[in-house]
Structures are given as structure tokens and as C-alpha cells.
Amino acid sequence: MSIKIAINGFGRIGRLVFRRAVESGEFEVVAINDLSSAANLAYLLKYDSAQGVFKGHEISHDDNNIIFDGRIIPVYSEKNPADIPWDKNEAELVMECTGRFRTKDSAGAHLGGSVKGVIISAPADKDTPTFVYGVNSDELTSEDTVVSGASCTTNCLAPVMKVLDENFGVEGGFMTTVHAYTNDQTNLDMVKEKDFRRGRASAANIIPTTTGAAKALSLVLPKMKGRMHGISMRVPVIDGSVVDLTITLNNKVTIEEINNAMKEASETNLKGVLEYSDDLLVSSDIIGSTYGAVFESNQTIILDNPDGKQYVKVLAWYDNEYGYTCQFMRLAKLMAEKLNLV
């Protein structure tokens, strides 16, 4: 039996949630809420500049509905989550994809009637439980009815750090995400009061900015609190990002030991979450990846300092759109199981 989901916010992640729901066969999208027209949303669902045309399906619309393979999916246009009539469509889980409702209280306004759980597709406040599937998702319980799926970068960083810490013990380190531009940036230079550089033309610049991924890591791996820091470099690619991680470990290791640990994890406890690759990858190769992280073995570097200190550098790719969405939907399925919806 399919899990009935509703999507609030039909932007980049919301539309990919729809795609993944269809492709997995485990979910049924019963309703959408977005302030844009059904016509525009149907068009963007079918045609996607990063992920390609949504082939093999008939997609049309009328005034207030998207019609997908003959099935009518209502499109509401409510600003307040509490006003969306999800109950009318028997939605069981709400995928909160607006980026606006990122607290337990605000996202929790979806709860009630048929809706038993809400998952936020963005980092949330500290009072909202945060989970990365495969990392700390075993801690999810039926009491967790409003949760965050963290960020795309945290979903890449956390599985890699889990393997490194469990096998070798992580002292600390720095990460840089070389990140595709996103829609919180601009095409041409314009005012961005919170972050001046994010206001610079996204397709013409490498833009240093902040990332909360290193800090958020401690929400899913508490041992990492205070041990990691990082920055983001926004670059002129439409999709496909990479985490460059430099750390120190408790014990000296070899490149082979690092790579072997990653390979083993990719075939066992992190299967489907972490991919191991010996290939020479570039960012466009990652578009469409279903993994949270793609570890590239030939980029593992170890520096043995003359003072005896050892530095380890590893690289992990991620589709910051679709890979994240797949992780998000794995968490959604797990929540449905905990809530006895399947």
C-alpha cells in the first residue's frame, strides 16, 4: 500500500519529491500546496533544466489541479499551513519543502486529521529533531512527528564522517563544500543584505559563503560537536556538488585503510546511502545520483607532517538536489513505518 503524501512548496525539492515518489512506487502524492499557478507548476514538473524531462508520463493541468497520468492532484494556494485542507485528500505525511516553516511549531501546523507526520526538507531549529538517513535514523521513534531531514551537504558529510569516526576516531577538521548555485542566489548583481556576496552573479563567480553543515553535523553525530568547521564555495554549475574534507584522526592510517573502510560501509550498513567509486568523476556525472554521498577513492590523500601529525583529505560528491531528495524520501518511508502507516 502506497504512503499518501502531500507536498507544501513545489520548488526544486518539492518537484523532485514528486518525481521520487513516482519512481519509487512507495508513495502517492495526493495534494500540493504552492502559491504559483497549476499551469506553471505542471510545466516545471515536466521540464527540468538540471534533472531532464520527466519522461514516460502524461502531465497536464486545469485551473486548480495537476493531472498526472490521468490522476487529478489538487493544487492549493494557502500561505498558512494550518489552512491547507490536507484532510480532504487523506494525506498521511506532509513534505514541508517551502524552506519557510523550519520550526517544530510552524511545521507542526500541518498536523491533524489524516496528517500524522511532517518532514522538513531543510535545516531546522535546535528544538526540532534532525535525522540523516543511515546515520542516526535508527533513533527515530513514533513520538517524532515533526522532523528535519537536515541539508543536502549534511547528508553527504555525515555518512562519510560516521565511517571515519567509527573506524579510526576523528579528532577534528575542516570541510569545504564546492556547491552548485541555488535559487537563493541571483543571476545578476543585486542587494543581499544578509550576505553581500550571495548577491553577486551566480553564473559568473566563485562565491565564498557560509554553510551550516559542519555545525549541523553534531545534531546527527553528537560526538562531533565543536570538532568541525567549514565554508561553502558556490560555483557556476547548475547541479552536482562535492565535499572536500580535511581531518585529523586518533590513530595513524593508510590510504588503503581509509578506502577499504568506505567500501565496506557502502556494501553493508550504509548501502544505498554511500556509494564507493574508483572512477574519475566530475560534477555533471553526479546529476541523478540517488546516494547521499559518492566517495571517490582516488582523491584520498594523507600527509605525514615532520612533527608526527597526520592529515587526511577525502572527497565525496553529491547531487545536492536529487541525491538529497532520495535521502529525504528514505526518511519519509521510515517515519511512515514508525507511525504504522504501512
According to the model, what pLDDT value does residue 318 have?
Answer: 99
Provide the 3-class DSSP secondary structure of residue 312: strand
Does the domain spanning 3-122 belong to CATH 3.40.50.720? yes
According to the model, what pLDDT value does residue 212 have?
Answer: 86
Domain coordinates in residue numbering, the chain: 3-122, 153-321
List the catalytic residue out of 97, 152, 156, 326: 152
pLDDT in tens, 70-110: 999 999 999 999 999 999 999 999 999 999 999 999 999 99
In angstroms, how far is CA 276 from the centroid of its own chain?
19
User: Cell numbers at residue 291, please?
Assistant: 546516494
According to the model, what pLDDT value does residue 308 have?
Answer: 87
The set of long-range contacts for 299-303, using a CB threshold of 8 Å and a minimum separation of 24, is: 300/255, 300/258, 300/259, 301/255, 302/253, 302/254, 302/255, 302/258
According to the model, what pLDDT value does residue 307 have?
Answer: 87
According to the model, what pLDDT value does residue 176 have?
Answer: 98
CATH top class, domain 153-321: alpha beta
Asked about 326 being catalytic, the answer comes back as no
CA distance 250 to 259: 17
CA distance 185 to 196: 10
| pLDDT tens for the 342 residues of the chain, in order | 799 999 999 999 999 999 999 999 999 999 999 999 999 999 999 999 999 999 999 999 999 999 999 999 999 999 999 999 999 999 999 999 999 999 999 999 999 999 999 999 999 998 999 999 999 999 999 999 999 999 999 999 999 999 999 999 999 999 999 999 999 999 999 999 999 999 999 999 999 999 989 889 999 999 999 999 999 999 999 999 999 999 999 999 999 999 999 999 999 999 999 999 999 999 999 999 999 999 999 999 999 999 889 999 999 999 999 999 999 999 999 999 999 999
Q: With DSSP H G I counted as helix, E B as strand and the rest as coil, what are the percentages for the chain, rounded to 5?
A: 30, 30, 40
